[in-house]
């Protein structure tokens, strides 16, 4: 039984009123602003965002360190990223995000390693700058092929007044201008991962770009040079994207930051166009490059054939006919394969309802891919989106879509109970909650250890995975037959 | 690449196709400013040398790939072992997201925990308001019977006083005055996750026994015949707790498990999400004061807790994660002594079966060299079992092991001829282990999931026993304690040994004469 849009809106309001009842008055007031229904024609989704999480509610959000080390800097493969502070932050984020890369780990690449200053009480009391210096010396001895170092600050660093900038400058000088980047991404800064992205972007500007000066490019420029910005190569996403850009005749001179390298960061100001996938985490540096180097940037979406097609054309529109033709050629080449995927999976998935709660770009970007399979996204929300994300979301969602910003564990559970979607797409912390409830689930941060999901190759995998989640025979077994 | 809908290929095979391989090569050559193949090879070889090992062991500031986590992780582990208890970690919220993810990845279960979500303003003014609001919200939303508070390093650095904050919160009406809010300071820059377990468990017990932070009179001990059992931070808690309950049931013992998280991390998929399930009831926690004895399975997880319990005139017995025949014998005899019960025939039969299994298989294990890393107690338990099997635990490493632990390890080595050339490494990490495996190779490595990187680099086959295990499923449901548990460990070790034998003999017409059908 499907509801009309008006009925859906009424039900949403009822659900929201119901969940708000559980909160103390002050909290109910605060949370009410983050919950709503998208109304067709409105410029945003009608919810507040990028505001402090309420204490004690079980927010799904992380912190600025997660945004910097876990997202922006961590995947840069030939640099060593020190988790500076106590052992935990680096331990829990160690190799957990599936930023694929190619290299000899521990020798010329270091992504899936956990480097930490493992702060002890004496470091808190006396400061950690001396230790940090020593750490950099030890890195130089034991990992001589590292191309640079970043210092990813954990909470205590900003609280005890350490001067990581001074240490970084001093050591950079000592090591002949080595790139050493201090990042003030202490976990208590800001309200979520988001500020960590911004801070990390700014450090690339200040400690990579500004340091380069007018250093010439290490490669001969071409008119078709682009950089992929905001793809973390989860399960190989950036690779299945890059291959399409190259097939249409572009040359990808850098990947930010999945499978990326310091040289690629340094290459980027030579790009003719920056193509931006995750707007949320890397719009800052894209804007900066536009202002400082005059590089235009364009957002794209490589989830599902409809959006890929539109994006390839949009990207091509910034270039000459050769590239435009290239885009058409690529679209035509993959069309039969995409049709085959849709033909196979759409009959199994059409009409299925999906609820999402994810970070970055995905709460909106994956909607098209679901729609290509005939599925319906009936609720979505951002872990750490800003209003500009919710504005962009209006181009994706239908009238009456339930919107929940920085959803709490309680709210998400209640919404899913009431809406009864056929699939929930969210993170590891949510996965098992919903599976216990008998609701099919896919992790939409890690692709549930599958992927890639980007590009044409990725869509086939995406479709297969959604099918295997929803049409898993286990969901017929959750009730004992004698009950 | 063109996907075929009959057989969609993902990251495992997709990127091996020629167009992707070529793309990778071009990317590297043109844009990555790569090191030369020769240089990479030269350094890779150098890292295998004794020279590198010496430099590696000379570092005193950098930690690389440690085998330990931070205190609040252990705090959450202990807290969810109590009935309907919500762990509340006071400090930055990102930490809690990490603990929850970490446990969910290991147990494949939901892991509920809240944060007081402190930000910059709390860093300046303190987190009292976060505590007041946080307790009120958590109490109303998640209807816990108890909220167990611990701290992240942020709250510790700025010096928030949990006792005072909780009192103030109660005065402000966040939770009823009589509602149980035990607490423990768990600074991440002291000890490790096992310290956090210890502090939190002690905090909870102290709360119930010693008058709830001065708000009610202390309990008066009225000794009875029961015993308390504490498992410690244990990745096998689901399987182990159930095994211990079975054993105690067979022995007819009146017991209380303090912090029993075996149900909350093993809930059924029957259509209902249980945020809370099972656990030590609050009443049991209170009455545990009256027990005649308390047993800890992991001494280094419970140093402060056991010291505190000793002051309550309990007989105490500390073990080091006992695994194997002799260790289980010792455990059962101690339990029998403390309770006045006898070891039943059924357990004796299980013992015999384990001994039988060892006799059947020991030829394949005898003389094999092992490296082990993990939490200090587990290292001892496993090393003891290996020596019992006639194997040599050559390198035993605990990043969170103390000097005292290393001394105890040495004594364990000294107790057996198979410990003769074995060495304990306290405070070292897995990059140290890498050097050890290159310079003094062993046949097998025992450790958690991160050991797979060592397996890749050094070729030492990894037997996954420890925490966390992210890349194999459901082993945490099996016990490693008791004779049955030792049987599981024996089988895991043997499976790997046989798999390796087959792998090493599988080449047709070259080695497959030894690819035996009977082993």
What's the pLDDT tens digit per position in A102-142? 999 999 999 999 999 999 999 999 999 999 999 999 999 99
Residue A446 near chain B (CB below 8 Å): no
Residue A387 near chain B (CB below 8 Å): no
Residues near A89 by beta carbon (within 8 Å), at least 6 away in sequence: A65, A69, A83, A154, A187, B94, B95, B98
- What backbone torsions phi and psi does residue B87 show, to the nearest 5 degrees? -70, 140
Please state which of the four CATH numbers 3.40.50.300, 3.40.50.12160, 3.40.50.2300, 3.40.50.1980 is assigned to the domain occupying B71-209.
3.40.50.1980
Q: Which of A27, A104, A118 sits opposite B66 (nearest CB)?
A: A118
Q: Give the residue-averaged pLDDT of B240-244.
A: 98
CB contact under 8 A, B271 and A106: no
* Fold observed for domain B227-344: Rossmann fold (3.40.50)
pLDDT of residue A1: 57
Catalytic residue numbers of B, as ranges: 153, 157
Q: Which residue has the tokens 């006792």?
A: B163
Shortest Cα distance from B299 to chain A (angstroms)? Answer: 22
Please state which of the four CATH numbers 3.40.50.300, 3.30.420.40, 3.40.640.10, 3.40.50.1980 is assigned to the domain occupying B346-503.
3.40.50.1980
Question: What is the average pLDDT value for chain B, to the nearest integer?
Answer: 98
pLDDT above 90: residue B388: yes
Query: B457: which 2 tokens?
Result: 């680099």
Q: Note the maximum CA span of chain A.
A: 76
Share above pLDDT 70 across residues of chain A, in percent, rounded to a whole number: 100
Chain A with chain B: Cβ pairs closer than 8 A: 342
Tell me B7's DSSP state.
Answer: B
Residue A28 near chain B (CB below 8 Å): no
pLDDT of residue A218: 82
Best of A22, A66, A88, A269 to mutate (most B CBs within 10 Å, chain B): A88
Give A316-320 contacts, CB < 8 A, sequence gap 24+. A316/A248, A318/A272, A318/A273, A319/A223, A319/A224, A319/A249, A319/A250, A319/A272, A319/A273, A320/A223
Question: A228 with A314: CB under 8 angstroms?
Answer: no
> What Cα–Cα distance (Å) separates residue A276 from each residue in A286, A292, A310, A361?
8, 17, 14, 11
What distance in Å separates the CA atoms of residue A156 and residue A87, rounded to the nearest whole number?
12
CB contact under 8 A, A121 and B70: no
pLDDT above 80: residue B283: yes
Q: Which of B1, B104, B453 sits opposite A429 (nearest CB)?
A: B104
Omega cis (within 30) before A396: no
Per the DSSP assignment, residues forming a β-bridge with A105 are A109
For residue A119, list chain B residues with Cβ-Cβ distance below 8 A: 153, 188-189
For residue A115, list chain B residues with Cβ-Cβ distance below 8 A: 62-64
Question: To 5 degrees, how large is the angle CA A145–CA A102–CA A112?
Answer: 75
B509 conformational bin, left if phi > 0, alpha if psi -120 to 50, beta if neither: left
pTM of the model: 0.98
Give B279-282 contacts, CB < 8 A, sequence gap 24+. B279/B80, B279/B81, B279/B82, B279/B83, B279/B84, B279/B85, B280/B81, B280/B82, B280/B83, B280/B256, B281/B82, B281/B83, B282/B82, B282/B83, B282/B145, B282/B146, B282/B180, B282/B208
The full 3-state SS of chain A, as one line of letters, equals CCCCHHHHHHHHHHHHHHHHCCCCHHHHHHHHCCEEECCCCCCCCCCCCCCCCCCCCCECCCCHHHHHHHHHHCCCCCCEEEEECCCHHHHHCCCCCCECCCCCECCCECCCCCEECCCCHHHHHHCCHHHHHHHHHHHHHHCCCCCCEEEEECHHHHHHCCCHHHHHHHHHHHCCCCCEEEECCCCCCCCCHHHHHHHHHHHHHHHHHHHHCCCCCCCCCCCCEEEEEEECCECCHHHHHHHHHHHCCCEEEEEEECCCCHHHHHHHHHCCEEEECCHHHHHHHHHHHHHHHCCCEEECCCCCHHHHHHHHHHHHCCCCHHHHHHHHHHHHHHHHHHHHHHHHHHHHHCCCEEEECECCCHHHHCHHHHHHCCCEEEEECECCCCHHHHHHHCCCCCCCCEEECCCEHHHHHHHHHHHCCCEEEECHHHHHHHHHCCCCEEECCCHHHCCCCCHHHHHHHHHHHHHHHHCCHHHHCCCCCCC
| Terminal CA-CA length for chain A | 25
CB contact under 8 A, A263 and B5: no
pLDDT of residue A213: 79
What distance in Å separates the CA atoms of residue B36 and residue B191, rounded to the nearest whole number?
42
CB contact under 8 A, A62 and B98: yes
pLDDT of residue B358: 98
Helix (H) or strand (E) holding B497: helix B482-504
Query: A148: which 2 tokens?
Result: 């640079």
pLDDT of residue B1: 59
Tell me B222's DSSP state.
Answer: -
Chain A (449-478) residues lying within 8 Å, Cβ to Cβ, of chain B: 450-452, 456-457, 460-461, 463-464, 474, 478
Helices (H), B389-450: 403-414, 430-439
Question: What is the average pLDDT value for chain A, to the nearest integer?
Answer: 97
For residue A60, list chain B residues with Cβ-Cβ distance below 8 A: 97
What's the pLDDT tens digit per position in B148-168? 999 999 999 999 999 999 999
pLDDT of residue A216: 79
For residue B270, list chain A residues with Cβ-Cβ distance below 8 A: 436, 438, 478-480
> What Cα–Cα distance (Å) separates residue B171 from each residue in B213, B377, B509?
14, 42, 81
What's the pLDDT tens digit per position in B126-152? 999 999 999 999 999 999 999 999 999
CB contact under 8 A, A56 and B60: no
Shortest Cα distance from B344 to chain A (angstroms)? Answer: 36
Question: B131 with B166: CB under 8 angstroms?
Answer: yes
| Fold agreement between B71-209 and B346-503 | yes
Taking 50 as the pLDDT cut, the residues of chain A under it are none
- What backbone torsions phi and psi does residue A80 show, to the nearest 5 degrees? -100, 125
Q: Which of A88, A94, A124 sits opposite B95 (nearest CB)?
A: A88
pLDDT of residue B149: 98
What distance in Å separates the CA atoms of residue B252 and residue B245, rounded to the nearest whole number?
10
CB contact under 8 A, B123 and A159: yes
Shortest Cα distance from A378 to chain B (angstroms)? Answer: 21
pLDDT of residue A212: 87
Q: Which of A131, A193, A253 sits opposite B31 (nearest CB)?
A: A253
Domain boundaries, chain B: 1-33, 71-209, 227-344, 346-503
Tell me B5's DSSP state.
Answer: T
CB contact under 8 A, A451 and B140: no
CB contact under 8 A, B123 and A64: no
> Helix, strand, coil: what percent of chain B each, to 5?
50, 10, 40
Task: Give the number of C-alpha atoms closer than 13 A to the C-alpha of residue A440, restricted to the C-beta side.
Answer: 19
Chain A (228-267) residues lying within 8 Å, Cβ to Cβ, of chain B: 235-236, 239-240, 242-243, 246, 252-255, 259, 261-264, 267
Q: Name the residue in chain B with its Cα closest to that of A67.
A: B94
| Terminal CA-CA length for chain B | 44
């Amino acid at each position: 039984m499907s509801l009309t849009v008006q009925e859906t809106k009424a039900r949403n309001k009822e659900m929201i009123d119901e969940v708000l009842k559980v909160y103390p008055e002050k909290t109910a007031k605060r949370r009410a602003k983050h919950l709503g229904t998208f109304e067709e024609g409105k410029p945003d989704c009608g919810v507040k965002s990028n505001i402090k999480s309420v204490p004690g509610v079980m927010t799904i959000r992380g912190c600025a360190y997660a945004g910097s080390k876990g997202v922006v800097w961590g995947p840069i493969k030939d640099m060593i990223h020190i988790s500076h502070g106590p052992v935990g932050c680096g331990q829990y984020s160690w190799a957990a995000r599936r930023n694929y890369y190619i290299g000899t780990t521990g020798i010329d690449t270091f992504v899936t390693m956990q480097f930490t200053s493992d702060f002890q009480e004496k470091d808190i009391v006396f400061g950690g700058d001396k230790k940090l210096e020593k750490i950099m010396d030890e890195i130089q001895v034991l990992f001589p092929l590292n191309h640079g170092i970043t210092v990813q600050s954990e909470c205590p660093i900003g609280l005890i007044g350490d001067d990581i900038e001074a240490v970084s400058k001093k050591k950079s000088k000592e090591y002949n201008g080595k790139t050493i980047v201090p990042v003030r991404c202490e976990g208590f800064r800001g309200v979520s991962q988001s500020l960590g992205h911004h801070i990390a972007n700014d450090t690339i500007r200040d400690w990579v770009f500004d340091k380069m000066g007018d250093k010439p490019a290490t490669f001969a420029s071409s008119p078709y040079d682009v950089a992929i910005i905001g793809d973390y190569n989860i399960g190989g996403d950036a690779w299945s994207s890059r291959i399409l850009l190259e097939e249409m005749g572009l040359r990808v001179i850098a990947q930010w930051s999945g499978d990326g390298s310091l040289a690629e960061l340094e290459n980027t100001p030579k790009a003719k166009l920056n193509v931006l996938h995750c707007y949320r985490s890397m719009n800052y540096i894209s804007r900066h490059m536009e202002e400082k180097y005059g590089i235009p940037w364009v957002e794209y979406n490589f989830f599902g054939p409809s959006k890929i097609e539109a994006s390839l054309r949009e990207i091509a529109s910034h270039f000459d006919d050769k590239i435009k033709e290239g885009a058409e050629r690529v679209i035509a080449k993959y069309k039969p394969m995409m049709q085959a995927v849709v033909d196979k999976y759409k009959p199994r998935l059409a009409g299925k309802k999906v609820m999402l709660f994810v970070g970055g770009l995905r709460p909106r970007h994956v909607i098209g891919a679901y729609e290509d399979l005939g599925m319906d996204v009936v609720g979505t929300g951002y872990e750490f989106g800003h209003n500009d994300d919710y504005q962009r979301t209006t181009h994706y969602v239908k009238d009456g879509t339930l919107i929940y910003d920085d959803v709490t564990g309680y709210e998400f559970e209640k919404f899913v109970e009431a809406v009864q979607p056929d699939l929930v797409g969210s993170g590891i912390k949510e996965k098992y909650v919903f599976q216990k409830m008998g609701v099919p689930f896919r992790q939409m941060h890690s692709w549930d250890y599958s992927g890639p999901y980007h590009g044409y190759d990725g869509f086939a995998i995406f479709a297969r995975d959604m099918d295997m989640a929803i049409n898993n025979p286990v969901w017929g077994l959750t009730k004992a037959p004698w009950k | 690449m063109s996907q075929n809908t009959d057989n969609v290929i993902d990251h495992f095979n997709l990127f091996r196709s020629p167009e992707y391989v070529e793309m990778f090569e071009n990317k590297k050559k043109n844009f990555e400013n790569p090191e030369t193949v020769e240089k990479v090879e030269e350094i890779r070889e150098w890292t295998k040398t004794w020279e590198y090992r010496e430099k590696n062991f000379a570092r005193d500031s950098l930690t690389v790939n440690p085998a330990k986590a931070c205190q609040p992780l252990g705090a959450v582990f202990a807290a969810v072992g109590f009935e309907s208890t919500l762990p509340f970690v006071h400090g930055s919220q990102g930490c809690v997201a990490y603990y929850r993810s970490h446990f969910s990845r290991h147990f494949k279960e939901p892991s509920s925990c809240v944060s007081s979500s402190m930000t910059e303003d709390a860093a300046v003014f303190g987190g009292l308001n976060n505590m007041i609001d946080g307790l009120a919200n958590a109490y109303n939303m998640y209807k816990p019977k108890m909220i167990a508070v611990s701290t992240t390093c942020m709250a510790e650095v700025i010096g928030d006083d949990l006792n005072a904050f909780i009192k103030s919160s109660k005065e402000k009406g966040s939770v009823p005055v009589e509602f149980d809010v035990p607490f423990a300071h768990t600074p991440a820059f002291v000890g490790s996750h096992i310290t956090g377990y210890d502090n939190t468990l002690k905090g909870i017990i102290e709360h119930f026994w010693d008058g709830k932070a001065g708000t009610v009179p202390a309990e008066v001990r009225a000794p009875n015949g029961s015993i308390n059992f504490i498992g410690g931070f244990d990745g096998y808690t689901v399987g182990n707790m159930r095994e211990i309950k079975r054993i105690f049931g067979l022995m007819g013992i009146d017991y209380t498990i303090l912090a029993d998280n075996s149900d909350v991390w093993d809930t059924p998929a029957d259509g209902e999400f249980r945020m809370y399930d099972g656990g030590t009831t609050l009443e049991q926690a209170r009455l545990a004061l009256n027990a005649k004895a308390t047993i800890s399975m992991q001494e280094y997880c419970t140093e402060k807790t056991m010291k505190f319990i000793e002051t309550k005139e309990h007989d105490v017995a500390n073990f080091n994660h006992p695994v194997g025949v002799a260790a289980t014998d010792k455990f059962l005899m101690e339990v029998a002594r403390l309770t006045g019960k006898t070891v039943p025939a059924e357990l004796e039969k299980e013992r015999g079966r384990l001994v039988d299994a060892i006799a059947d298989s020991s030829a394949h294990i005898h003389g094999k060299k092992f490296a082990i890393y993990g939490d200090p107690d587990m290292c001892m338990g496993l090393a003891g079992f290996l020596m019992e099997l006639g194997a040599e635990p050559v390198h035993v490493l605990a990043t969170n092991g103390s000097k005292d632990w290393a001394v105890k390890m040495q004594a364990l080595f000294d107790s057996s001829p198979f410990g003769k050339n074995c060495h304990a490494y306290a405070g070292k990490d897995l990059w140290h282990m890498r050097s050890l495996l290159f310079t003094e190779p062993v046949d097998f490595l025992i450790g958690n999931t991160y050991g797979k990187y060592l397996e890749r680099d050094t070729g030492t086959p990894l037997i996954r026993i420890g925490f966390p295990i992210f890349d194999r499923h459901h082993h945490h449901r099996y016990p490693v304690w008791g004779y049955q548990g030792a049987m599981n460990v024996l089988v895991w070790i043997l499976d790997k040994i046989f798999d390796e034998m087959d792998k090493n003999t599988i080449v047709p017409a070259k080695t497959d004469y030894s690819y035996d059908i009977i082993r």
